[in-house]
Amino acid sequence: MGKVICFGELMLRLNPSGYLRIVQAENFEASYAGGEANVAVSLANYGEDAAFVSVIPDNLIGQSAVNSLRRWGVDTSLIKRSGDRLGIYFVEKGASQRASKVIYDRKYSAISLSTASDYDWKSIFKDADWFHFTGITPALSDSLASVCLEACKAAKEAGVTISCDLNYRKNLWSKEKAGEVMGALVPYVDVLIANEEDASDVFGITAENTDVESGSISTAGYEKVAAELSMRFGCKAVAITLRGSISANDNNWAGMLYSNGRSYLSKNYLIHIVDRVGGGDSFGGALIHALHSGYSEQEAIEFAVAASCLKQTIEQDFNHVSESEVKALMNGNGTGRVQR
C-alpha cells in the first residue's frame, strides 16, 4: 500500500480542564490538532504510512505541533517550516443543555498565508496512492483554494485516490463561496465525506423529513442526498455521518456509505460523550483506512462508525485507538466490561 497524504492546517488547541467554562479557566490543556491532521493520526494508528503536508512556523510553538504528530507516528518530513503564527482554537466542553463552544483564532496563520510556491505536489505524491483534504483548507484563503485545485490535479495525474470531507465552517466562508469553490474541487474527489448538515450548507442538497436541531434524522432522506452528491460530482463513494444530539452528553451516532448505487447503513451507537471534537475526522480516517485496505462496503462503514464512536469517548481531537479495538466494538463488544 502506498502512502496517504493529508493536507491542511495544524493548530494549537487550548481547552479548560473538565467542564470549566473559558471565563473560569486559569489553565488551558494544550494539544495540537486540525481536521486533516486528525485523519493522519488515525491512519498512523491503524498502521498506515501517513504523511502530513502543511506550513508551520519555525518557532517553539510550531515545533511542539510537529513533535505532536511525530509522537503518534505521522511522517512530518513534508511539512514546510515558515511563516509567523500557528492558528489557535479554544474549546469549551459543553454539558447537558449547555453546548460546547469553539472559538477560532486562526486568521493570518502560516498556512493560510501560504501560496502555490510553498508546495511541490509532484514530489509530495511520490510513493503516495491516497490524498485527503477537507473543506476547511480551501476555506482558509483564496490562495489555498487554488493550491487545493492544483493538488487535486496533481493527484489525479499521479493516479492517487482523492478523499475529501466537506467540513463546512460558517465562520470561515459563506455558503455561497463554499458552494462555488467546493463545486470545482469535488469533481476530482473519489470518496466524499460529509456530516448531516454539510451537503445542505455547501450544495443546497437537503435531506427530506429531517430536522437536525431536533435530533430526528431520516436515513432514507440521506440516502437520496448521497445519491445526488454521487451523481452530480461523479464520486465513487459518498459517506455521511448521522449525529442525533440528545444533549451535550448523549448523542446517537451512525453513518451511511453510498457506493455503486447502493447504500450501506451502520449500526447506531448511543454515545455518552467524553469529547466530540474530532469525531467526524476519526470517521474519515477510519473510512479511508477501511477502503484503502479493501474492506467491503458494509465493513467499511461499520469500521468508520465504530472508530468514531470510540473517538468520542476519548479526550482531545486525536483518535487513540487501534484497529483491533475498533473491530472489537464493531463486532459487538460495546458493554464496556473491564479488560484485564
Of 39-58, binders to a second copy (CB under 8 A) are none
DSSP tag of 89 = E
Per-residue contact flags (x/-) with a second copy for residues 268 to 287, judged by CB under 8 A:
-x-xxxx-xx----------
Q: Please enumerate in sequence order all residues whose Cβ is within 8 A of that of 152, keeping only pairs 6 or more positions apart, or say none.
A: 131, 162, 185, 188, 189
- Does 21 engage in binding with a second copy (CB under 8 A)? yes
Alpha carbons 332 and 290: distance in angstroms, whole number: 18
Strands 250-259 and 262-265: antiparallel
Considering only CA atoms, which of 196, 205, 193 is closest in space to residue 259?
193
Q: Which is nearer to a second copy, 251 or 263 (CB)?
A: 251
Minimum separation from the CB atom of position 253 to a second copy (A): 10
- Does 324 engage in binding with a second copy (CB under 8 A)? no
Q: Which of 133, 198, 316, 317 binds a second copy (CB under 8 A)?
A: 316
Q: How many residues bind a second copy (CB under 8 A)?
A: 87
Alpha carbons 312 and 321: distance in angstroms, whole number: 11
- Does 174 engage in binding with a second copy (CB under 8 A)? no
Instruction: For residue 142, give the C-alpha cell.
Output: 483564496
Q: How far apart are the first and last CA of the chain?
A: 34
Q: Which of 2, 80, 102, 177 binds a second copy (CB under 8 A)?
A: 102
Instruction: For residue 63, give the C-alpha cell.
Output: 515545533
- Does 103 engage in binding with a second copy (CB under 8 A)? yes
Q: Which stretch binds a second copy (CB under 8 A): 125-133, 148-156, 202-210, 329-337?
A: 329-337
Site for a second copy in 53-92 (CB under 8 A): 59-61, 63-64, 67-68, 70-73, 84-86, 88, 90, 92
Site for a second copy in 109-168 (CB under 8 A): none
Considering only CA atoms, which of 272, 248, 275, 245 is closest in space to residue 95?
248
Minimum separation from the CB atom of position 129 to a second copy (A): 21
- What's the one-letter identity of residue 70? R
Continuous segment of H or E residues that includes residue 304: helix 297-311
Q: Please enumerate in sequence order all residues whose Cβ is within 8 A of that of 119, keeping only pairs 6 or more positions apart, or say none.
A: 53, 80, 147, 150, 151
Site for a second copy in 228-257 (CB under 8 A): 245-250
Strands 250-259 and 269-272: antiparallel
Q: Which is nearer to a second copy, 83 or 138 (CB)?
A: 83
Minimum separation from the CB atom of position 235 to a second copy (A): 25
Q: Which stretch binds a second copy (CB under 8 A): 115-123, 138-146, 294-302, 306-314?
A: 306-314
- Does 294 engage in binding with a second copy (CB under 8 A)? no
Q: Which stretch binds a second copy (CB under 8 A): 11-19, 126-134, 137-145, 182-190?
A: 11-19
